[in-house]
Each structure stands twice: as structure tokens, then as C-alpha cells.
Amino acid sequence: MAVGGRRIRPPGRCRGPTFGRPLIGQALGGAHDELSIPRGLRAVRTALGLKAHSGWAALVVLGTSGGELEIVDRRRIELVEEADALWAKQPYHAAEGMNPDKAREVVKRGVEAARRLAVREMQAAADRAREAKHEIAACAVLVVEPMPDWSVDEILAVHFRMHKAEGVLFRDALARAVAACGLKLVAIPEKQLTEHAERALAIPAAALVKRVATLGRSAGPPWGKDQKDAALAAMIALQGGPK
């Protein structure tokens, strides 16, 4: 599915995060993930692809000019502060066993921090593209199945719900950040990524695998499943979203 949004507002800034209900369905390590935009790269039409994990996400930015794809940016973005990593990656688990008021406060802090950092990282990505004169067509976020409208107390009462909520948390934070930065959000169900890519790009799965592998060779390592999935999501976003 594609959720409509506005194009980026040059030279404006992202709006701060809001803390209402989730927008979407609620789930690269190392120091050498970063591949910054090369100086002197010609301005191209780009799309961002994001695949989230607990506390971080893989970002791949693809550009197209004359029908040829190229990697414009690739990096790991952090969605928790280093000092808070022990609990903020799994705030529901951190709140388990606390009295209800304290538990709700811990979860609230974790959710607000994730949303705030997601806005910071999306703004940085948009700024890098803007400085290079690139157009941002859209930003794809890989999402999971929607979560029922449980309260924090209801989530903490059943263990598997905590895993579900934490899987939703960082994906939803990224989706909110995309909207806050005035970018078009393309939400793609993670489990149906290949299926959506085949339809959107009109390319068989085997050919898609080869194309993504070729992109990876141009960037060098790391180019694992997270980067490949983020790149495929960006390819869909460049085509206007899932069909």
C-alpha cells in the first residue's frame, strides 16, 4: 500500500514528532556501513528505502538518471541513544514487572525517544540529498501486520504482545518521521516485498535478485539482506509504490 504525503519542503525542516496512535502496521551492523553521497555526483531523482530492527534501521538511497540505477547513500541509522540502548531497544520488556504507572512512563519515554531520533535521522538524510541537489521522489518503509489497539497495560499482560509492539515501534517511528519531513511515504508489507516488487517493476523475482546483487557490487560490503531489502523497497518507491 502507499500512503500519500507531501514532497519535501526545501529548505524547511522536519516537524517534531507527535505521539498519538501508530500510523502504520506494527519488527548492517558495524562501523563500515556508511556510504555517503560522493562529491561531484550529478543530481538525480532518488528514493529512500528503510528496513527497521530494534533500535536501528538500514537505509539505502537509490538514484536514477537515464534509466540507470545507482546507490546514492547507504548507512545504518540509530534509533536509540547509545546511553539508553540497554532498555530503549525493547522498552516494553524493560517495563515488564514494574508497577503500572512506572511501566507506562518507561514505555512512553521509549516511544518518544524512537520517534524523536527517527525525525533527526530522516532530516539528516533529506539534508544530504538536498545539499547534492537531488530530488526525493518518495521514501519506502518496510512494515509488518497491523497491531490491535491494545493499551500499554494490555500489551504488558501478554508476553508475545510485547514482541509485537516492539516490532511495530521503530517502523512506525520511521513512517512518522517521513511524514514529518514532508516526504511521500510508501509503506510496503515486509513479508510481501518480493511480490510487490515484481508487480511494481514488472520484473521476475530471479531478475530482481540479480539486479540488487549488481547494485551491491558497486557499493561494496556490507550488502546483506537488510541492505538488499531496503534497496528493493527504494526501487518500488521510485516507481511510485506498490501496484
**What are the residue boundaries of the structural domains of the chain, listed by start?**
45-238
For strand 56-65 and strand 68-78, is the pairing parallel, antiparallel, or unpaired?
A: antiparallel
Give per-residue pLDDT as tens, 60-69: 999 987 778 9
Phi and psi at residue 100, in whole multiples of 5°? -55, -45
- 197 pLDDT above the threshold of 70: yes
Residue 103 CA to residue 93 CA, distance in Å, equals: 10
Let me know: does 11 contact 193? Beta carbons within 8 Å. Answer: no
Task: Yes or no: say if 92 and 153 are a contact pair by the CB < 8 Å rule.
Answer: no
Mean per-residue pLDDT for 39-49? 81
Q: Is the separation of the CB atoms in 25 and 145 below 8 Å?
A: yes
Higher pLDDT, 186 or 37: 186
Q: ω into residue 100 within 30 of 0, thus cis?
A: no
Pick from 14, 169, 147, 148: which is nearest to 91 by CA?
A: 169
The whole-number pLDDT of residue 146 equals: 83
CA–CA gap between residue 133 and residue 43 (Å, rounded): 5
User: pLDDT tens, 201-240?
Assistant: 999 999 999 999 999 998 888 899 999 999 999 999 999 8
C-alpha cell at 207: 531478475
| The pLDDT value given to residue 243 | 67
Count other C-beta atoms under 10 Å from residue 39's C-beta. 6
Q: What is the pLDDT of residue 76?
A: 96
Cis preceding linkage at 10, omega within 30: no
Q: State the average pLDDT over residues 116-120.
A: 98
* pLDDT at position 33: 58
Mean model confidence pLDDT for the chain: 86
The three three-digit cell numbers of residue 148, written as one number = 490491535
Is 137's pLDDT higher than 60?
yes
Q: Specify the pTM.
A: 0.84
Q: Which residue would you say has higher pLDDT here, 1 or 43?
A: 43
63, 79, 102 from 49: Cα distances, Å: 11, 16, 36
* Overall fold of domain 45-238: Nucleotidyltransferase; domain 5 (3.30.420)
Give me the half-sphere count of Cα atoms (radius 13 Å) on the Cβ side of residue 223: 17
* 136 vs 208: CA distance, rounded Å: 22
Q: What is the pLDDT of residue 30?
A: 38
Q: Is 141 helix (H, G, I), strand (E, B) or coil?
A: strand
